[in-house]
Every structure is written in structure tokens, then in C-alpha cells.
Structure 1
Amino acid sequence: MSFAHGSARYSRPLCWLLALAAAPAAAEGAEPDAALTLDEVTVNARHREEPARTVPIALNALDGEALSEAGLFRTEDLQQRVPSLLVSVPNARYTSYGIRGLGSSTYNDGIDGSVGVFLDGVYLGRQGMSLSDLVDIERVEVLRGPQGTLYGKNTSAGTVNISSRMPTFAPEGSGEVSLGQDGLRQYRGTLSGPLVDGVLAGRLTAYDAERDGIVDNLYDGSELREQNRQGLRGQLLWTPSEAFSARLIGEYAWQDEQTNVFTASNFSQATRERAAFVGYRQLPIDPYARRVQQDQPNTIKTLQTGVTLELNRILDSGATLTSVTGYRDWTYDADQDGDGTALSIAENVAVQLDHHQFSQELRLADSPNEHLDYVVGLYYLRQQLNREVGVRFGDDAAAFFLGDRPEIDLLGITPGMIPPSLLEGAHQAFDGEQRTDSRAAFGQVTWHATERLSITPGLRYTRERKQGWLSRSVSGLAPLGPDLVSQIGGALLRDTTLGGEYYRRDSIEESNLSGQLALGYEFRDDLFGYASWSRGYKAGGINLDVVGPNVEPTFDAERVTSIEVGLKSTLWGDRLMLDLALYQADVDDYQALTNRAPVNEYAPPIRDNLINVGKVRLRGIELDGLLRASERVDLRLGVAWSDARYRDFDNAPCSPESAQWSCDLSGERLFNAPEWSATAGVDYRHPLEHGLELFGAVDHSLRTGYYGSLEGGAGSYQPTYTLTNLRLGLRQADRRWEAELWARNLFDEGYITAVYAQLGAGDYGVLTGDPRSVGMTLRTRW
């Protein structure tokens, strides 16, 4: 939710924890002071500006300026304000969003996100495309639950809408500099104003963020997980008449970082035996020490360019016709130490993804009379993903992979007796492509049956077509030698480690009819209730990985049936806002990734394969509250309880420690679905003499523990953690300038943000959250 105080705007999920602070004033029955009331929160969730308290959707509206002031500049930071949102960013390729426990990891390039991310009305086809800094943002709206009758792209879990600020005809600008620990340097700036008075305005926004590495590489003394990213957004707004406007947006974002670094959280017994055989001393398991031994670089470079054209025309009937055209290119280029060690095993994994997309949305919205509002639209999206993955093996690979074989020990074979040429120089090449065409027609009508009762039905028809191919080739193998190891086990080692030639071409084509029905009732001017039923859909797809036995090359669509009831209220003379939502969502054919154990003692593990889980159920309660306790103090709290469980999953992969191939996980909790999440905060303002103001804020967030992988192996559990951020500063009362000291992760909490299955079955690496960071920020506005 958002509210204003003076000329400033704040964005907060809500608070009731400290509501007793206002109880004495309420008990006295005194008339509320106008300065103590919260401003109306307006949202554009249904493509029209309206009060959030009368929208029959569970949502959080986050003000862009407040996010900037809190130092929340990236989409993964949004979860510190939205308890039901979980964002995991191992890297741009593997980014995943989840809402209410439902969300797909993009560890497999063939899967779409369950949460749709939109930037200025354009759907971002790869979730990693959303990782540009949130700079010069007007608002972020997080809609919880299936959304499909309002937006071009259907989503089964929810939607994140990001809206940038528009050009202005009054000159304005802002600048910001942040300096902090570990060499942090952040620069942001915006200029906006008229180019032709009353007709053409422009806006230019740029940012540059750098930070030194926070992970020590003991192999060569380097520091990894640095930050180095830049971006630019330019806009033109043309308003030749009151009935027509055109907005053109051009974007450029660049990232070049050594950041794809996972610290070990578990070694399987096989990996321990292999390391002992070749005489390699592994680092102790201590992810929070932030230490690795890697002899190869871990670089990621991404480049994103995009153009958006939004046209709005008010027709003679009063209806508004909107066209949103978007084109985006996204390139991901990464080099990774494939084995994560100082050994030369899978010494380099090179990945290049090229994603191109074009989208067109036509939308007509109108309120022909006081009893009716509607939105209808047509949508088209075309995507093409080209993928190249290469794995190069080194001179330690053969001895390492044979190191746990009992026959090696029985025959008295030492590492020096195993020819490196069995695998050294071998190269696996995985090439692939996927083309996607999506077409949809959607619409939603709100009938105001009475002054207090509204009925909102919606319908959507979707047509999806995907075509793709995948190949694997192996090259660089030396001839097998005459020695005992080569003759006895060389061919088997190569076959199980490298595999042979592989080619697969697949396609799917499907259609879906989905919809929703919502009832809203205004019990009083300050109390709104709603109940909704919705049907969400996410298309099936192609498993863009080499599939093993019992895994299909394609996977089915994910369907969600959701029921929700909620209350939205304002209390104590508009000083307190409370939102409550209860929901249940039943998911059929939930799309999930597995990391299965090897099918036999010689085969490698099967990683990143997509399957459909029969049935999943999500239940939960969400409470958001915001209180203006006094003219100087604002309080907020958001709490989400989630019970996300598999209902029918009797063919699930077992944890790597199990001797079984298949397990029954029915009734168990979903992975990446914490049971409790909460956010809370206090904002304080104290006026001083000479037009100055002292300000401070404390922000706190909590998540209880959960597994980060479906199979739930040792080392894949992410423990409960809490984060606390602190800010204290001095500013001019009209916000012309601000000087602020801040501390993020104030108590230096160790926590895990992502889990990754590594080289062998049962080997896991984790991405740890940032340690405590202290710094200062200077801002100016004009």
C-alpha cells in the first residue's frame, strides 16, 4: 500500500503489530487530525486508476520513491516488502519468482515462469530479464493469485507489474550517490522536461552500480561475486491532443560480473571418496565462510535492449483504445567452473542464450455508465530462444570419476595409473532452439449491481504453440590406449560420463479457456469485502535438456483453481489500513524440476529434468496493515502463512541419500515454499529548525526454513532467517536534498537465497545472502 506525507510518498505492506500505539487517542474519541490520515491508495491493476481498497484482488502496491529511499533497487529486494513473494536469483538464467508457494525455477530453459513479470505493460519472457535496477520507478504492483482476464500473458501464480515514471512537461530531475562497504559505488540520475511545450516531453534515466567481491577464492586469492551493472532508459511522450498520446521507451541494460559462485553445502559420499582417491582436500562445509577453491572463472555477461510503444486514443464514445507494442533482445553469456573445485574435472561450462521477443496487445476499456466497467483485449507474443552450452573436461576427470569404484581399489590401481586422456580434452556441446507463439483474447466486466455490490466475471481464451530441438555431440576424445584401465573401463567411463550423440525435435500445440468470477461488497465506507473464483493456466512445453528414463521430452500445462475471500478496511479515522485474505488453490500438473539419483551405479545423476506433479494444494492467510501512529511515526506489518503441499506425488524423486529410485511425497510440503513470512517497519520524522528534518527507519523481514530443491537432499535446506535494515539521515523538509547513513543486514545474519545441485548426486551448492553492509547516500531533487 502507499500513502503520502507532505510532498513525499511512502510504500508499505501494512502494519498492525504496533497498532496499540494509537489506542489511547482512539479511546478518547477525539476527532482525527487531517495530518494523521492516510492518503488514498490508487492502483492500475485493472487498467484504470481506482482505490486499492475497492479492488477484489489481493495485492501490494509499492511506491517507487519509497523503494529507492529504502535501498531496495532490485526485484529480488521486493520480497522484503511482500511476504507472499519469493524471488530466487542464483544468476540471471536461473531466476525464479514464487507467490504463495507456487513458482517455477528456470533451471531448465524450456519452462515459463508461474509469476508473470511486466515492465511498462510488456511481458518479460525470461524471468532473468527483470533484473535491471529499479530506478526511476513510479510503482510496483504485486497481484497474488491467477491473473489472466486483464493481461496479455496468462499467469498461474500471480503478477508483478513494474511501471516507470513518465516524462513530465514541468522540468525536474534527481541525482543520487551511494558509497558503502566492500567498495560499493552506486550512481543514479534522472532528467525530465518539455522538448516542445505542451506537445512533446522527454525523460532520461541512468544508473551505474559496482561492488567488490564478497567470496574469497583460495585458489588464486581473487574475490568473486562482485557487482558491475549499468543501465539507461530514454522516453518520449507526445500529446498532440487531449484525445491521443504516444509514449516511446528505449532501454539498455548491461551486466558483467564474476557472480555465478556457489559455496558447498553438502558433499555426497561418492564425491568424498573420489576426492580422497585423487588426493584433493575439500574445504570444510561452511557456506557462510564464503570461501571457494576454483581454478576457472565464473563470469556472467548479460545485455538487454528493448523498445516499447504505447498508444492511447480516447474514442468519440468515451472508450479508451490502448496499443502496447514491445520488442526485446536479451543475451546471456556465462563461463562457469563446472566442478566448483581447484581440480580440472568439468573445468569449464560455457552457456550462451539469445532470447528475442515481440509482443502486441490491443485493449479497449470503458465505463459507459455508472453501472458498468469493462476491459477487452487481444494479445500476441512471439519468442525465440537460441541456446549453446559447452562442457570441457580436464586432466583430472578420469581419475576423479573412477575414484569411488570398488574394483579400482581391488585391482590396486592408483590415480597415476589412470590415463588422463580417457576424458581430457573431451567436449560436450548442447545446442538447441525453441520458438513460441502465444495468442489470446481476454475480457473482464464489472457490473455495479447496487451502490455497494459489484460483480466481476472474466474470460480468456489462449492458444499456445511451441517448437524446439535439442542436440548433444561429443568431440575431442583421444584413442583408447593399451593399458589395463583403458581396455577394461575406458569405454564405459566415456559412455556414462559423456553420453553419445543425441538429437530430439518436439512440438506442442494447445488451447485453453479460463476465467474468473469476483463479488465485491462495500459493507461500510471503510469496509470492503470480496470473494473470488479464478482459473489460472500456464502452457506446457518442451524439456530443453537430455531426458533420462521415466522423464518425458514434453510436459503438460499447469492449471490452477483458486478460491479467495478477503476484507479491506480503514479504521481509526483513516489512520489504520488492514487487508486480510484467505485462499485455497488446487494445482493440477504442477510443473517442477527434479534432480534424480543415477539409474545405476555407473550412470551420472539426472539433473534439471521437468516433470508434472499430479496435484498440489496451496492454503494460506495473509494480513497487511499500515498505521500512522502520529505525525512523526508510521508503522507497517505484513504476515503470510502458507500451507503448500503435494496432494498426489507417488512417483517423486527421492533424496540422494535414499537407496530408492522413487518415493511418495504426497502430503509433504512443497519446496521453495516457506510456511511463515513477515515484514515489519517503522518510519520516523522529526522536524528541526531552519527547514530541516531528521528521519530514520527500521525495516525487518523474516522467512521460516524450507527446502530449496524438490528432492530435499541434505544441504538443500534453507534455514529460517531474519533481516534488519537501518537508516538515519538529515534532509531539507521539502526533500531538495538528503544525507543518509544506512546499514543493511544490520546483525550480519547468515542466510541462503538459492540452492543448486552440483557435480554429483547429493552434491549441493548454495548462494548466501549479502553480509552486513554500511554506507551513506546523498540525494538531491529539483
Structure 2
Amino acid sequence: MRFFLPLAVFMSLPAVVLAAEQEQGGLVLDDVTVSAHPREEHDREVAHTMSALDGEQLEAAGLQRSEDLQQRVPSLLVSMPNPRYASYGIRGLGASSANDGIDGSVGVYLDGVYLGRQGMSLFDLADIERVEVLRGPQGTLYGRSGTAGAINILTRRPTFDTEANGEVTMGEDGLREYRGSVSGPLLDGVLAGRLTGYDVARDGQIDNLYDGSHPGDRNRQGLRGQLSWVPSEVFSARLIGEYAWQDEQVALLAGGYSAPTRARAAYLGHRLLPLDPYARRVQSDQPSRIRTRQNGVTLELIRTLGNGASLTSITGYRDWRYDTGMDADGQGLSIAGVSAQLDHRQFSQELRLADSPNEHVDYVVGLYYLRQRLDRQIDNRFGEDAAAWFLGDRPEVAGLPPDMIPPSLLDGTRQAFDGGQRSDSRALFGQFTWHATDRLAITPGLRYTTERKRGWIARQVSALAPLPPGWQLGQELRDLALGDNDYRRNSIEEHNLSGRLAVAYRLQDGLLAYASWARGYKAGGINLDMVGEGVEPTFDAERATSLEIGLKSSFWRERVLFDLALYQTDVDGYQVLTNRPGDTELSPPIRDNLINVPEVRLRGVELDGLLRASPRIDLRLGLAWSEARYRDFANAPCAPGSVQQLCDLSGKRLFNAPQWSGTAGIDYRHPLEHGLELFTALDYSFRSGYSGTLEGGAGSYLPSYELTNLRLGLRRGDRRWEGELWVRNLFDQHYIGSVQALLADGDYAVLPGDARAMGVTLRGRY
């Protein structure tokens, strides 16, 4: 791997915000007060690895999407082929959400409310106070337990001082971004409000050779309104209402063709596009469009009790609608199309009591309840080329011309998959910290969780035309490719006890050493898909046990912050999505089934740091090395095209787990006359290659890549206004953002990352 930045760019800590002023005794860095723990405390005192990304810094760097966060947090991997398949991974742990029955290993929260589907986080990060990324198992401080970590997104609160800000961005490919917010008092000293909105659009970057259209566009809007009521010093209330909308035409590009696909295309005389996703070309005979809509209401109540304890209530309701119609084959042939509608609704209630009865003790205890309801409808429709396509590699029809295969074998037929899931989660959690001495703190925590899930799925086949005389193979094709009408209902109930123990010792001023043990839990669930042979309709819970030691230090008169963490996490029952081949040559070769990997081990080292080199220069760097492997996976699915069905992957590297990742940056400010300031920044991130699917077939590998972004601008010293020119992906690096398996055994589609783009951004503040 190569680095474009000089060696002087040597330390970064996203968990801190730089002080703007020079103090006596030299330049210093300010600690960040974080709320990752419900009792706010300084990041340097937390015996846990975390990154806190300041909202203003994210805005300045142009990192306004959830998938951009991985450019600042090396241990974080975000895959967003579309909202339904969105997934987060931390330290190599975190599978795809393509099966609707799976929960994320990484819990995502917005203003304290857990988002039940990871695609619900694909809103614009507008008017954000900060984003906190906690690594490792969570459960003794949050309402929802997690095995890999948590992402906590906090929006800016209403203010009692009038303020407003706006931002306009224009760039290549018709990029248009508008963001703004206004905040101020509605009733002096008692009631304040805040209104935030955004509108983001960009033209498509992909050429559809079939009809000349340009999918791959962006079209997202959102609105957030807040009220803050502070009638007294001991009580406050915050009400948040949100709306977000997305309507985009999407396209996935060919990343790998299976042998059956090549044979079928040759039989039909169809020319497959070359495997060059960076050419950004598809041939799709029907548009693929995704629409999502999200509404949310959050009510936060905080009461200070007579003894000084703080009681917090967070009530949240959200509904999320996903609606899509897509070309299932992407071949420019009328083979299959799919439409899907998901309707997710959730209600959550969390109560927390936090107190420090004396200087030696503080604690947090809480109750949590979450109810989720998912309804879905999926409709597969087959076209006039489907029968010839699926029979094209069969020896018994190889001598027939394609037009001799009756299209009516499959043309017009439908597979309707209806289903749903209801889930209830209840938990009691708490964490206690004993400050045994001025230097030693011991923190135990426990969590008890009850999970109940009930789900159902039905398959109904319709619109079958009469079989042509003499086509017995047609009935076999229908039976195996379409299946029979089917219905099943399943339920699970689980109880779990997990916990955490951490010991922190201040070796000297500015140097904290800590060690922690944590046990995380993620409930089992229901395969919300028709399962293949050897796959159970339900899957078991995922449990992660993590050991971690680390150092947090500040030195050189607090101008340097440096963190080092070493960890090992053993995961039992890792929940993964597997795309197994069909039971026969004619049956559907891809089934999105959930299974449990018996044992996985994650080991790694993480280094973060930050340097204020001078009043004008800030330097940062973060590095992460991960060794993630299957410890026990003797009956794993083999790569597509293998002679055997099952392979032993024990000892092999885990999928979606790059070995190396890092981020670095330099910010420079130069004062000018008349109160003006010139500024520039260079941001860099890299990630080594990794497999994007469990089976690891040809075409599912994501090569290593590096991204470099450059900014140059002019602003007033008080930042009332600023303008900047920017270039993202400065060196026009070709890279793949995500990969997924498609219709055939060994076919893969990939989503390429954004090409180099240039533009201008103007910001104003009042």
C-alpha cells in the first residue's frame, strides 16, 4: 500500500475536537464530552474504544452520508448497495441485511432511539452535533444489545439564542445539495425550536445501453423539527419530528458471470457485457427504482431528582416504507423482474436512572422495551425469454433453436412471497463504577434480555398458461423453478444474561490504562425466505465475548493525543447470509438463507492519534489491523462452481473483514488581512481487499483502494461565511463499494464507488 501524505501526518483521533485558541504553556487539545455512556463524561476517562466525529468537521469534509463515516473510522465498514441490503460492520463483524429476518450486529441509534432496520439510517447527516462509534459488544448502557458495537447519531438541539446556517453545493454530474437550519426562542427562556431541512440531487453516472437512460442518480429530501421545553432547572423535554424521502433509479453492474450464465447467453445469442464495472455500463430492459419514506417522533424527558440523580425517558416511534421495482437479471432480456414492498413500524421506550451518590460511586440502571412490526410483499414476474434462458444449458434442448422453446412455459407467471414478523424485546440493564482510589476505577455491568419473535411466509404461484403438448420438461421446469404454493409460521423465545467488567488505572497524569471483558448478545430469528435443503427455518442467537486492553494518553503539553487498543473477540453462532446453489439443475440457484457459523475469532490492533503541530496545522491518523478468521466452520457452503456442496472454511479469513484500514489528514489555516482566513485540507483513507460474500466466488472480491479528498477555501475569521473548492477522489481511484449475489449460481453484481468529482460549496451562518 502506498501513502500520498507525508510522514508528518502521523496521528489522528476522531474522538476529539481541536481547541481553537492558544493557552498559556502552549497549544492544547480539548477533550470531548460524549454521551455514549448515558452519563456524560470526558472521552479520556472512558475505559472503552470509541470514535466521536464532530458534526462541523464532517460537514466541512463533505462527509454527509452514513456510508462516508468509514472514511474517518478505520474499524468501520459500511455497505450500502440499497437501503434494504444496508449493513454496518465493526472489526470485521457485521453481515448483510439482505434477509429481512436478520438484525444488525451493529446497533444504530438516532438521538437515543434504536433504528430497527439498518437501511433506516440512510438519511443525510445534516445539522448533526456528533456521531459516536463504539467498538466491541454493547448492552449494559443501551436499550438494545449488540455484538459488534454501536453508532450513536446526535442531532443539534434547539438553542435559546437565535441562529441560522445554510449551505449550497454545486458539482459535476448535476450535483445539487441544499442544507439549512434555523433555531431560536419561541417563548423566552422556556421554549425553543429548531428546523432543519435538506435536498440532495445528482444525475445518474451509469449508461444503460438498452434504452439510453442514466441510472445511479441521487434524489433525497428530509425535514426535522424540534421543540425544547425547559420550564425549570430540574425538568426539560425535547420533542423531535422527522421526515425523510428517497426516490432514485439504481443499477448494479456485472462483477462476475457463472458458467451457466455464459452457456445460456451463448445459446440465446445474447452478448454479455464485458466484466468492467468501472466502465459504468448496464443493459437493462426495465427500470430499477427504489423509493423509501421514513417518519419518526422522539420524546426525551429529563428530570433531576431531589438527591441529584437524573431520570431520563426516551420514547420513540418510527415507520419506514421501502418500495422497489427492479430488473432481476440485468441482461437486456425479458427474463425476470421483481418488486418488493416493506413496511416497518416500531415503538420503543427507555428509562434510565443515573446518579453519583458520592465521589467514589456512580451508576446507571435502565429498563427498555422495543416492539417491531414488519410486513412485506415480494412479487417475481417472469418474461418471454425466461424459459429459453433457464433451459439454455440443458443437454436435452441444446439441439433445439431458442425459438422452439415455448415462451409460455414461464412467460407471465408470478411468484408472490408475502410475509411478516412481529418482535418484542424487553431488557433490564445497569452499570456501576467504583472509584476505588484517585487512580483506580472498576466498572461491572449486567443485562438481562427477553426476546420474542413470530413470523410467517407464504409462496403463491399464479398466472400459469396451459403447457404445450409434448413439453413434459416444461412441467419439471415449472415445478422446480417456481415451486408449489407454500406456507409456514415460526416463532422463537429467548432469554439471555450478558455483562461487562472494566478496570481503568491512571498510571500518571495524561496516561490511562484499561482492560475490559464484555459479553454481547444478538437474538436469533426467523428465515424470512423459502429455505433450501439443510437450512432450518429459524436460526440461533449470536454471542460475542471480547477481551480488550488499551492506553489513552496525552502529552507534549496536551498537544498530542494517542490511543492504542488490542482486542480479541470470540463469536459463537455468527449469523450470516449464505447464497446456496439450488437442489437440482433447474431449481433456483440462489436462496437468501440465514445460518449460524459455529465459531469466529477476531483479533486486532487499533491506533488513533491527533497532533496540533502549530496554531495553523492539525494532523491526524488512524490505523486498524484485523485478523478475522473462522475457527470452526466445517460445513460451510463452497464457492459457486465447485464440484462439492460443502467445504471446510475453518482457519480461513472472514468475509467483509479487510485486514488493513486507515485514515489520515492535514488541515492548514493561514490568516489574511481584513479578518479573512485561507484554509486547505487533505483527507486520505485506505482499505485492503476482502471477500464480499461468505462463499467467496469469483467476482465477489473487493480489491484494495485508496481515496484522497482535497479542499481549498476562503472564509471570515469568525466563520460567518466561507466558500471552498473541493475535489473528491482526487486521483480518480477505481474501487468497489459493495457486492451481492444475483440470480444464477456464481453471478455477482457490484456497485462501483464514486469517480473523481469537483465542485464548490458556499456556507453562511448567523
Using structure 1 for the length normalisation, give the TM-score.
0.95
Give 1:499 deviation, angstroms.
1.0
Counterpart amino acid of residue 278 in structure 1: L
Counterpart amino acid of residue 280 in structure 1: H
CA deviations on 1:547-569 (whole Å, 9 max, x unpaired) are 01110000000000000000000
> Does the alignment pair 1:367 with 2:356?
yes
Aligned match of 1:284: 274
Aligned match of 1:37: 28
Give 1:341 deviation, angstroms.
1.5
Distance in 2, Cα, partners of 1:368 & 1:655: 58
What SS does the corresponding residue of 2:261 show, helix, strand or coil? helix
CA deviations on 1:472-491 (whole Å, 9 max, x unpaired) are 11101100011x4x2x3011
Aligned match of 2:716: 732
Give 1:33 deviation, angstroms.
5.8
After the TM superposition, which residues 304-453 of structure 1 pair with which residues of structure 2 at under 5 Å, given as runs?
A: 304-346=294-336, 348-409=337-398, 412-453=399-440
Distance in 2, Cα, partners of 1:18 & 1:596: 46
Aligned match of 1:469: 456
Give 1:606 deviation, angstroms.
3.4
CA contact (8 A) 2:9 2:664 kept: no
> Does the alignment pair 1:521 with 2:505?
yes
Distance in 1, Cα, partners of 2:96 & 2:757: 28
- 2:254 corresponds, among 241, 264, 268, to 264
CA contact (8 A) 2:661 2:688 kept: yes
Aligned match of 1:241: 232
Give 1:408 deviation, angstroms.
1.1
CA contact (8 A) 1:266 1:762 kept: yes
Q: Cα distance 1:20–1:546, how it changes in 2: closer, same or farther (>3 A)?
A: closer
Q: Cα distance 1:777–1:491, how it changes in 2: closer, same or farther (>3 A)?
A: same
CA deviations on 1:17-59 (whole Å, 9 max, x unpaired) are 53599xxxxxxxxx98656211122211211221111100100
> Does the alignment pair 1:183 with 2:167?
no
Distance in 2, Cα, partners of 1:278 & 1:467: 45
Gaps of 5+ in 1: 1-13, 22-30
Aligned match of 2:630: 646
Distance in 2, Cα, partners of 1:340 & 1:114: 31
Q: CA RMSD in A?
A: 1.4
Distance in 1, Cα, partners of 2:87 & 2:148: 12
Aligned match of 1:569: 553
Aligned match of 2:479: 495
Aligned match of 1:96: 87
- 1:149 corresponds, among 121, 124, 140, to 140
- 1:161 corresponds, among 139, 145, 152, to 152
- 2:118 corresponds, among 119, 127, 130, to 127
Distance in 2, Cα, partners of 1:778 & 1:427: 51
Distance in 2, Cα, partners of 1:81 & 1:440: 32
CA contact (8 A) 2:315 2:350 kept: yes
Aligned match of 2:489: 505
Aligned match of 1:551: 535
Give 1:269 deviation, angstroms.
1.1
Q: Cα distance 1:601–1:92, how it changes in 2: closer, same or farther (>3 A)?
A: same
Counterpart amino acid of residue 555 in structure 1: F
> Does the alignment pair 1:105 with 2:91?
no
* Stretch moving more, 603-612 or 310-319: 603-612
What SS does the corresponding residue of 2:611 show, helix, strand or coil? strand
Q: Cα distance 1:446–1:17, how it changes in 2: closer, same or farther (>3 A)?
A: farther
After the TM superposition, which residues 658-697 of structure 1 pair with which residues of structure 2 at under 5 Å, given as runs?
A: 658-697=642-681
Distance in 2, Cα, partners of 1:681 & 1:194: 38
Distance in 2, Cα, partners of 1:778 & 1:115: 35
CA contact (8 A) 1:309 1:326 kept: yes
Gaps of 5+ in 2: 13-21
Distance in 2, Cα, partners of 1:753 & 1:512: 36
> Does the alignment pair 1:62 with 2:53?
yes
Distance in 2, Cα, partners of 1:416 & 1:88: 41
Aligned match of 2:195: 204
Counterpart amino acid of residue 446 in structure 1: T
Give 1:600 deviation, angstroms.
2.8
> Does the alignment pair 1:767 with 2:751?
yes
Q: Cα distance 1:751–1:533, how it changes in 2: closer, same or farther (>3 A)?
A: same
CA deviations on 1:152-190 (whole Å, 9 max, x unpaired) are 000010000000000000000100000000000000000
Percent identity reads 69
Counterpart amino acid of residue 456 in structure 1: T
Give 1:598 deviation, angstroms.
2.5
Aligned match of 2:19: none
CA contact (8 A) 1:16 1:636 kept: no
Q: Cα distance 1:306–1:32, how it changes in 2: closer, same or farther (>3 A)?
A: closer
Distance in 2, Cα, partners of 1:280 & 1:572: 67
Distance in 2, Cα, partners of 1:717 & 1:36: 45
* Stretch moving more, 239-248 or 41-50: 41-50
CA contact (8 A) 1:725 1:746 kept: yes
Give 1:212 deviation, angstroms.
0.1
What SS does the corresponding residue of 2:614 show, helix, strand or coil? coil
Q: Cα distance 1:142–1:560, how it changes in 2: closer, same or farther (>3 A)?
A: same
Distance in 2, Cα, partners of 1:572 & 1:618: 34
Give 1:279 deviation, angstroms.
1.2
CA contact (8 A) 2:10 2:664 kept: no
CA contact (8 A) 2:249 2:288 kept: yes
Give 1:657 deviation, angstroms.
2.3
CA contact (8 A) 2:732 2:755 kept: yes
> Does the alignment pair 1:171 with 2:162?
yes
Distance in 1, Cα, partners of 2:680 & 2:25: 23
Counterpart amino acid of residue 171 in structure 1: T
Distance in 1, Cα, partners of 2:435 & 2:605: 28
Aligned match of 1:5: none
* Stretch moving more, 591-600 or 371-380: 591-600
Distance in 2, Cα, partners of 1:33 & 1:750: 47
- 2:206 corresponds, among 202, 212, 215, to 215
Q: Cα distance 1:87–1:34, how it changes in 2: closer, same or farther (>3 A)?
A: farther
CA deviations on 1:282-319 (whole Å, 9 max, x unpaired) are 11110111100001111000000000000000000110
CA deviations on 1:319-341 (whole Å, 9 max, x unpaired) are 00000000000000001101111
Q: Cα distance 1:568–1:16, how it changes in 2: closer, same or farther (>3 A)?
A: farther
Distance in 2, Cα, partners of 1:34 & 1:543: 61
Give 1:603 deviation, angstroms.
2.4
> Does the alignment pair 1:459 with 2:449?
no
After the TM superposition, which residues 291-302 of structure 1 pair with which residues of structure 2 at under 5 Å, given as runs?
A: 291-302=281-292
CA contact (8 A) 2:76 2:89 kept: yes
Counterpart amino acid of residue 427 in structure 2: A
